[in-house]
Structure 1
């Protein structure tokens, strides 16, 4: 299932729905009244039987006219966990870009983990506020996002995928000059609107092998990135094990797993985003995350 968070026209409360094959929003709450008032965090942390109820509800659920898609998790329990330099070719292009702050290792020996605050999260279709980067170094990073279901601390790699609720798409928007200036990346990557997420969460039962997923990014219709998730340096179980070793993961926590080669700083000279540019990111089965720079 592709589960979504949406709002009805003229209303402010979030509701849980699903996307049909054509991308229309289905009103699961009309079939399962218990969903009224529930959030995606509630669903992510629920027992597996809840997914069966949602799947059954999809068959009868009516379409929602005028639904506005929101980020699938508008406010994560903690900051969004992000992983840097996690594709081999991107690690090389980043090392050669001059924006790596003098890091010694082209390919990191351990996962590079930073975070984005929830105030950075926006939905597909919402604008990225490029004016918040006064340095003119705005860049895109298409990424697969992993949504945690059953949480925990000290999760073993062998058990890690049992703790995954589903998968979404994240654009790790970055102000490159700020990223380089501050060394610690949160001030270059955590700006308001710099974490587009969505359009949906593809539940883990639909993804028996996440390494088979393929991520593709276009800017203004030009393909810039394309890579299978199998190319990750540190795979999803390794990331979950590393993060949960001392930080408790909770239902609805999101891990953005890193971006492949093809970002703006990989060009010579770098090609930064400008007002009006449209970034479109697609991951197999999840859908399309599309945002313009305002």
Structure 2
């Protein structure tokens, strides 16, 4: 299934995309407040899959405003320096443990919404990533059990304010400006992606390829990341794990290439989707 969160006629909803139209799952599952709640209930999710297979669609996709696929995740866990080639371009080496940092939900925007270049910096960079959406929560998860906790996959742009990112040794502020984390357009459920390692990822700026990578190239794979974080924090349904970006980022180019108003950046992951956002200046 392709699952979305959206706004329509002033109300929040969630549903499944079928051939360019939407099956309104929020109406069929009124007991769930949002998509994350549905993902947490395996029985209801299986019922939703049966509904999507046979029910008529309710309205065209073009009649909704997409929200970030999980509008208010409990947490967004991001991973830095997780492709060897990206580590090399950044002048870093992959260590014994993953580089973990965090995003706030309030920084997220949907497919089609603008990314916001902040007033205080013009060092606004792009990072194409695969994001994992957690369906089943838990703590102290063994790597061999980790994939059972994955609801599905979506696209992510961890757009970064580079000079602020390097104000200190902590990435935090440069990764948490308002309107800089694009997530969507939809969640493709894990049953449709038998092996995420077979996926490829591409980042395009105004139609020109800037970044390419294969998910098989991750230094720390998805099971390892889920297991590692679970030793410290309980995963919750709807949590987001952003797996890192491949080489080709803007600020390591000579000369650097940064996002400017009017640009469009796309994250393309065949089999998952295409996330597209224009850039505007903060007002």
- Separation in 2, partners of 1:206, 1:259: 23
CA displacement at 1:29 relative to structure 2 = 4.3
Written as runs of structure 1 = structure 2, the 5 A alignment for 1:132-171 is 132=119, 134-171=120-157
Partner of 1:234: 220
Give 3-state SS (helix, strand or coil) of 2:219's partner. Answer: coil
* Alignment check: 8 A CA contact 2:18 2:57 kept: no
CA displacement at 1:190 relative to structure 2 = 0.8
Picking from 17, 41, 46, the partner of 1:46 is 41
Gaps of 5+ in 1: 96-104
CA displacement at 1:266 relative to structure 2 = 2.7
Gaps of 5+ in 2: none
- Separation in 2, partners of 1:155, 1:52: 23
RMSD value, Cα: 1.4
Tell me whether 53-62 or 196-205 shows the greater mean CA deviation. 53-62
Q: TM-score, normalised by structure 2?
A: 0.94
Give yes or no for the alignment of 1:108 onto 2:108. Answer: no
- Separation in 2, partners of 1:195, 1:46: 27
Written as runs of structure 1 = structure 2, the 5 A alignment for 1:34-113 is 34-35=29-30, 38-47=33-42, 49-58=43-52, 59-65=54-60, 66-78=63-75, 80-95=76-91, 105-113=92-100
* Alignment check: 8 A CA contact 1:16 1:38 kept: no
Partner of 2:106: 119
Tell me whether 163-172 or 61-70 shows the greater mean CA deviation. 61-70
**How many residues align structurally?**
277
Written as runs of structure 1 = structure 2, the 5 A alignment for 1:215-230 is 215-230=201-216
Written as runs of structure 1 = structure 2, the 5 A alignment for 1:6-17 is 6-8=6-8, 10-11=9-10, 13-17=11-15
Give 3-state SS (helix, strand or coil) of 1:225's partner. Answer: strand
Select the structure that is richer in strand.
Answer: 2
CA displacement at 1:131 relative to structure 2 = 2.7
CA displacement at 1:110 relative to structure 2 = 1.1
Give 3-state SS (helix, strand or coil) of 2:115's partner. Answer: coil
Change (3 A) 1:36 1:284: farther
- Separation in 1, partners of 2:57, 2:21: 10
- Separation in 2, partners of 1:131, 1:249: 31
* Alignment check: 8 A CA contact 1:152 1:250 kept: yes
* Alignment check: 8 A CA contact 1:123 1:197 kept: yes
Partner of 1:100: none
Give 3-state SS (helix, strand or coil) of 2:247's partner. Answer: coil
Runs of 4+ in 1 over 4 A off after TM superposition: none
Written as runs of structure 1 = structure 2, the 5 A alignment for 1:155-234 is 155-234=141-220
Give 3-state SS (helix, strand or coil) of 2:183's partner. Answer: strand
* Alignment check: 8 A CA contact 2:150 2:190 kept: yes
Written as runs of structure 1 = structure 2, the 5 A alignment for 1:268-283 is 268-283=254-269
Post-superposition Cα deviations, 1:152-204, rounded to whole Å, max 9, x if no partner, equal 11001010000111111110010011111132111001111111100001111
